[in-house]
Amino acid sequence: MKCTVCEIGCDISEGNYGRCNMYTNQNSKLIERFPNSYLTVLPITIETMPMVHFAPKNKFLQVSTVGCNFNCQGCISETLTSNADALSGALTKASPTDIISRAKTEECRGIVFCLNDPAASYYTFLNLAKEAKKANLWVGCSTNGYFTETALKSLITYLDFVNIGLKGSSNARYKECGAKSAGPVFRNIRILHEAGVHVETSAMYINTGDEEILKAAEEVASVSKDIPLQVMRFVPFGEAKPELEPTINKSENIVDQLRSILNHVYLFNSPGTEYLTTKCPICGNEIIKREFYGPMGCRTIESLDEGKCPCGWQVPLKGPINNEQFTEYGMLGGYRTTRAIEMAHAILFTLGIRDNEELGDILGDIIKEDFIRGLHDRIQQIDSWLELIKDLAMRTGREKEGNELIAFIQERVDKINEGSKLIKSYPTVYYSMGYPLFALNAERFETNLVEAAGGICVNKSLTRKGKPGVNISVNEINKLSPEMMFISGFLSSPASDYVQYCKKHGIDNKAVRMGNICNVPTGWDFGSPRWILGFMFLANTIHPEIYSFDLENEQKEFYKRFYGIDVENVVTNRDFSRPAITTTK
């Protein structure tokens, strides 16, 4: 029989499954494999979904399951979408009534399905949406938008808002993700818009993908120029090649071009960018000011009443701007949750757990035990990081491997601690992510490593907090007057762009004047046990008169012992769990 949920249209024989592996044929009926079963159910602010023009700052209940009908290279949710069978044990049964009750208890304004595509759990989402509307809750989702017309028309009655994730504009680009063509997506955008559903679009911007995203914007503009487009700067996870990642500067340039096609275009995955803010097109006033808030997310930090400029121009919002904004705990909420799961995956990989099924089983147990909720606090100090490794090693019967990894790290930590006795002066250090004006939070692991390596981290004086940091002003960064500035190895920016930004915006401090601006190597400061390499890098850089770690040999040893590969055979990307292997010996 033919699956009628999405346009891939799998022919599923009796007892078998479609390509997404989430539906089966039982007695000539299409049956959802894991009905009313959820991987996550937790409150978020809508901007982390993300949405920018629907009910800003309002609180929603996020639900997600497992699986996806697409297979996109570098997917941020790969752990959830590619290990559906293994993670099925972590799914929790919950009826629509249960979910709605949770939403009411949490004082949420609605329910949103995101992290994986609702097409993987269509009937579960449809039934939940029906009951949510009866309870006067808003309903929305993030989706590839590849529903059949029949499936979409059954769902559309209950949808208030939707974020359609565009893969590009060409059939070839969609085929790379396992779809047949691009047409159904743009057809569905039109159907949703004409039905009165609030539609926003997001599009991954790949370094070689200017034509794809520009033509996609033209397709969206043919429906309405007021449909917001969220440009997701591509970050290479999984096996994606690092050269596909555009710089923030280049991404801002493409946004400028896109704004000649659509009225509202925003840039994500780019800490410190000003291209998340809505400005009045008449007088240039900032109407809704936003900042980076983790991968694929943003946060409203200031807004004029009702999104209206004093000149009379109004942001085309649907739903009110809430007075207060809910703050998600730790790494819970939006796509930060996928990064938390990936961090656990990173440790498990260094412990020698490489089989996908075994990984999935362990990750499933971790999620079920609410391990993720406490992870944020466990990755901010060296001692708690080592305890985390020990914990996972014991859970998985890999105590020997865990002890070996801990010993490797501890030996180098001890050498840095011993060297610290020789320090005579402590330079001031500023730690940013992306552009200079995005400062990491005071309590972050990276800032603690700076101080353990013999620096005075000026971030410690900042009282405002975001995820993983906050925008600061030019005046603030100049007053901090750091002697050294480090750029995160996660969501980064080339030092040349960083320096140019400083010159353009009047950032003038000791570090800029002395040229003491350094990129931390990719993957060395956050998200995986490779932070020990970053710690040695910081020590060498901050106090070259004391520390002289041979980082080339240290990296070779780490990769050989804990990844089982030669460093010459890897290409470093932004993936926490492992670098992308290009060749093997």
Q: Measured in whole angstroms, how far is the alpha carbon of residue 110 from the centre of its chain? A: 22
Supply the pLDDT for residue 584: 45
Question: Smallest Cα–Cα separation from 308: which of 291, 323, 325, 286?
Answer: 286
Return the sign of the alpha-carbon dihedral for residues 64, 66, 67, 73: positive
List helix spans (H) across 106-222: 122-134, 149-156, 171-176, 183-194, 210-221
Contacts of residue 553, Cβ cutoff 8 Å, sequence gap at least 6: none
Supply the pLDDT for residue 405: 98
pLDDT > 60? residue 585: no
Quote the pTM value.
0.94
Summarize the confidence of residues 388-400 as an average pLDDT. 96
DSSP string, 465-520: --SSEEE--HHHHHHH--SEEEE-SSS---HHHHHHHHHHHT--SHHHHHT-EEEP
pLDDT digits (tens, 9 = 90+) for 92-133: 999 999 999 999 999 999 999 999 999 999 999 999 999 999
Q: Measured in whole angstroms, how far is the alpha carbon of residue 370 from the centre of its chain? A: 20
pLDDT digits (tens, 9 = 90+) for 472-524: 999 999 999 999 999 999 999 999 999 999 999 999 999 999 999 999 999 89
Supply the pLDDT for residue 373: 83
Is 50 in contact with 299 (CB distance < 8 Å)? no
pLDDT digits (tens, 9 = 90+) for 528-566: 999 999 999 999 999 999 999 999 999 999 999 999 888
DSSP string, 359-424: HHHHHHHHHHTTHHHHHHHHTSSHHHHHHHHHHHHHHTT-HHHHHHHHHHHHHHHHHHHHHGGG--
| CA dist., res. 112 & res. 60, Å (int) | 7
| CA dist., res. 569 & res. 170, Å (int) | 33
Is 355 in contact with 345 (CB distance < 8 Å)? no
Supply the pLDDT for residue 334: 81
User: Residue 312 region, left (φ>0) first, then alpha (ψ -120 to 50), else beta?
Assistant: left
| CA dist., res. 327 & res. 102, Å (int) | 17
Structure confidence at residue 83 as a pLDDT band (50, 70, 90): low
pLDDT > 80? residue 462: yes
| CA dist., res. 329 & res. 289, Å (int) | 22
User: Residue 25 region, left (φ>0) first, then alpha (ψ -120 to 50), else beta?
Assistant: beta
Pairing of strands 29-32, 23-26: antiparallel
pLDDT digits (tens, 9 = 90+) for 427-447: 999 999 999 999 999 999 999
Helix 382-395 and helix 356-368: axis angle, to 10°? 110
pLDDT > 70? residue 580: no
| CA dist., res. 416 & res. 410, Å (int) | 10
Structure confidence at residue 582 as a pLDDT band (50, 70, 90): low
Helix 531-542 and helix 399-419: axis angle, to 10°? 10
pLDDT digits (tens, 9 = 90+) for 345-371: 999 999 999 887 788 788 888 887 778
* pLDDT > 70 fraction of the chain, expressed in percent and rounded: 98
In DSSP terms, 54 is beta-bridged to 318
Question: Smallest Cα–Cα separation from 491: which of 525, 447, 445?
Answer: 525
* Mean model confidence pLDDT for the chain: 93
Is 189 in contact with 229 (CB distance < 8 Å)? no
